[in-house]
Amino acid sequence: MKLFLAALILTMGTIPAEAQWLDWPTPGIPRTPDGKPNLKAPAPRGPDRKPDLSGVWNGPNVVARPDKDNVQSWVSDLARKYQQEYFKTRPYYQCRPSGPEAERFGGWKRFLQTPTAIAILNDDLTYRVIHMDGRKLEANPAPTWMGYSVGRWEGDTLVVDSVGFNDKTWTSRYGISHTEALRTTERYRRTDFGHLQVEVTYIDPTAYAKPWGFTENMALAADTEMLEAICEWSSDHWEGTVSDGPPVSVPPDVLARYVGAYSGIYGGNKRTIEVSLSSGQLMVKIVGAADIEGGLGTAGLDPDAAQPLVPRSQTLFEGLGLGFQFIVDDKGVPTDLVEIHISGPYKFPRQK
Amino acid sequence: MRLFLLAALALIVGTMPAAAQWLDRSWPGIPRTAAGKPDLTAPAPRGPDGKPDLTGVWNGPTPEPKLDPAIAQPWVNDLVRQRQQDYQKGRPSYRCLPSGPEADRFAGWKRILQTPTSIAILNDDLTYRVIFMDGRTLEANPAPSWMGFSVGRWDGDTLIVDSVGFNDKTWLSRYGQAHTEALRVRELYRRRDFGHLQVEVTFTDPAAYAKPWGLTADMALAADTEMLEAVCELSSDHWDGSIADAANGGVTVAPDVLARYVGVYSGLYLTNKRTIEVSLSGGQLIARIIGAAGVDGGEMRPLLPRSQTVFEGLGIGYRFIVDDKGEATDLVEIHISGDSRFARQR
């Protein structure tokens, strides 16, 4: 059976409604007169007067990919191949550590800071350690999933340098590879009690002509708790590729009727789905999706490129992990396009 | 192809270049003997609150759980038998899933980071636990999770950790002892000096065990070196075969040949003396390993023939070396790490 990315099943901790920890007031934090956490209070400092990054942090989905002209051709070739395979070899989908992948900087994490080491604990139960004891980076490190990290303070900015990554991880969910020579630099600033910013830079000349990166803004998740989100079902069993021959053929005049723009609200944001016809194949482009699911199910390396829709029936199509169902009137003219997600169907009326 | 099970267990352990600096790096600020070596018998360090500080990289041998099968409910023992038949392939760590409270997870490499409000235990398989020290009480109705919810408090110099909220997918031992979601775990940690940390673990789960049981794990500080990742990449999902399959594997060995293998073999495995007693029961060879408690609990294991001289027993291969009269002179245990030869004693 063909998959829709619905095959990605993450086991998220479902906590009973009466769970205490999710509502437990974090002790010892600054509060406003009405008792809420005062996220604008000054950042806490440790005995060494440096900012203390300890806490539970949460940030929006990271949408990051290198400029398509900045990657070596082998990287873009691989990205195209991974896109064809629905990104099924993404380490995260294989229940493997995400390592330095940009998207790992989003979501939930807990920082624990001691004078000699900082641990970053991710909700997928992986972690990193940043050594603060003055050691130098390994000159000839063994490749690992999480790399070797050393940190130092530049004023109130924590600067973290890392090396020693294996080449099994990606730097972006869009199938962007890196080599074992990858180096990353992170600059962390806790601007106040409730906000932590990190600027991440990837340096890997055999993969990218120039360093590239992104900035992520995290907010303190006060008065609540982080829950486990463990990958239990690897993508090993996913099958099918985008280019597997369509088992269904749809006459050109039917396809032509589906061409148009459909739009509506998804995840609180306006989304427009532009359907076009190119060389006898329906193409789809989703506008306004990047900030919702990081482009999941849409573009690969090139966010502006339209993606093919592969017919599964006269009205049902598949495109990069999402299902698309055209709703037609009695003349066969589509009135709506339904996007089929793991979380359910979303209906977008035709605009033109 | 049938597997010799241990060979199928591919844990990717970081192999460090010889030039790696961190593995030979002298830790700054730790007590040292006159010879410059870490002074592991110096007093344990203490934090600003005067309590022992457990921070450090620790390593320890596999603890042997003290479990009398008689206290386990029948459903637990049934599961243990069934899992043994399946080469324990459903063990979470073989499936690249977290080990949760499993006894063996108290062995091996870990890093402990202690702050005033929480303690993190980071395992070399890239899983971790957090023990909350900020005064919160245990969840009354916790959601099942892989690592549980843990709160700690100090009783003198002993750290007492209570945990609840485990899912029932993890095991309490590598032998397949199951538990329910009602499992409670208590750990007593004592860092008696700079170089030694002991933990006493008690599992309480009346629906599975009539009485609490547990283990004691002794860890030593791994000073002047570094912990490496050991990440499971190849799940046991693709293992196939069971002991019952193997028993029907088609190779038969004549009873008089089997009888010639009966005896006692012994030698060194790693640095421990190991004795293997081979007996015959119901026409089948049975092996019992003595001195390998940490490895297999001294259990009896049927030896299933793969050829006239090669047998398979719970994931380890056994080859009898015979003289020109067909009498066994040695028994070779075939491990993933290589062969170990045990000379016949009688």
One pLDDT digit (tens) per residue for chain B, 346 residues: 333 333 333 344 445 565 677 888 888 889 999 999 999 999 999 998 899 999 999 999 988 787 888 999 999 999 998 888 887 889 999 889 999 999 999 989 999 999 999 999 999 999 999 999 999 999 888 889 999 999 999 999 999 999 999 999 999 998 899 999 999 999 999 999 999 999 999 999 999 999 999 999 999 999 999 998 988 887 777 666 666 666 666 678 888 899 999 999 988 876 677 888 999 988 889 888 876 544 444 567 788 888 888 888 766 788 899 998 888 999 988 776 667 888 998 8
Whether residues A178 and A257 share a domain: the answer is: no
Dihedral sign for Cα B306, B312, B315, B316, please.
negative
| CATH number reported for the structural domain that contains residue A203 in this entry | 2.40.128.20
What number is the ipTM of this complex? 0.77
Token pair of A146, please? 């999480």
Domain boundary among A198, A231, A264: A231
Tokens read off for B334: 């075939």
End-to-end Cα separation, chain A, in angstroms: 33
Residues B176 and B29 in one domain: yes
Question: The domain spanning residue B223 has which CATH number?
Answer: 2.40.128.20
Shortest distance, CA A126 to any CA of chain B (angstroms):
5
Structure tokens at A302: 């090139």
> Which of B298, B243, B255 has its CA nearest to residue B276?
B298
**pLDDT of the residue at B303:** 87
Question: In terms of domains, do B217 and B315 share one?
Answer: no
**What CATH number did the domain enclosing A257 receive?**
2.40.128
Using DSSP's 3-state secondary structure scheme, residue A166 falls into coil
- Please check whether residues B203 and B266 belong to one and the same domain: no
Give the burial class of B167: count Cβ atoms within 10 A of its Cβ; 0-12 exposed, 13-18 middle, 19 or more buried: buried
- Pair (A60, A181) in one structural domain: yes
Q: Are A70 and A208 in contact (CB under 8 A)?
A: yes
Give rounded-to-5 percent helix, strand, coil for chain A. 10, 40, 50
Cα–Cα distance measured from residue A229 to residue A108, given in angstroms and rounded to the nearest whole number = 10
Please name every residue paired with B341 in a beta bridge, in sequence order, or none if there are none: B332
pLDDT of residue B304: 84
Is A236 close to B130, i.e. CB distance below 8 A?
Answer: no
> Is A292's pLDDT higher than 50?
no
- Could you tell me the pLDDT band of residue A246, with boundaries at 50, 70 and 90? low
State whether residue B329 sits within 8 Å of chain A by CB.
no
Whether A165 shows a pLDDT value over 90: the answer reads yes
Q: What is the pLDDT of residue B29?
A: 87
Same domain, B171 and B286: no
pLDDT in tens, A83-133: 877 788 899 888 899 999 999 999 999 999 998 999 999 999 999 999 999
What is the model's pTM?
0.78
Averaged pLDDT, A232-259: 76
Max CA pair span of chain A = 75
- Mean pLDDT, range A134-162, rounded to an integer: 95
Sequence-distant (≥ 6) Cβ neighbours of residue B298 within 8 angstroms = B288, B289, B290, B292
- The residue to which tokens 């830079």 are assigned: A201
- B231 to A97: CB separation less than 8 angstroms, yes or no: yes
Higher-pLDDT residue of A344, B75: B75
Mark which residues 87-146 of B lie under 8 Å from A by CB. Answer: 96-98, 111, 113-115, 117-118, 120, 122, 126-128, 130, 134-137, 139-146
Same domain, B80 and B162: yes
- Domain range for A290: 252-349
Domain span at B329: 249-344
DSSP character string of B242-263? -HHHHHTSS----HHHHHHH-E
pLDDT in tens, B117-168: 999 999 999 999 999 999 999 988 888 999 999 999 999 999 999 999 999 9
How many residues make up chain B in this entry? 346
Report the percentage of chain A scoring pLDDT > 90.
52
Q: In this structure, is residue B5 part of a structural domain?
A: no
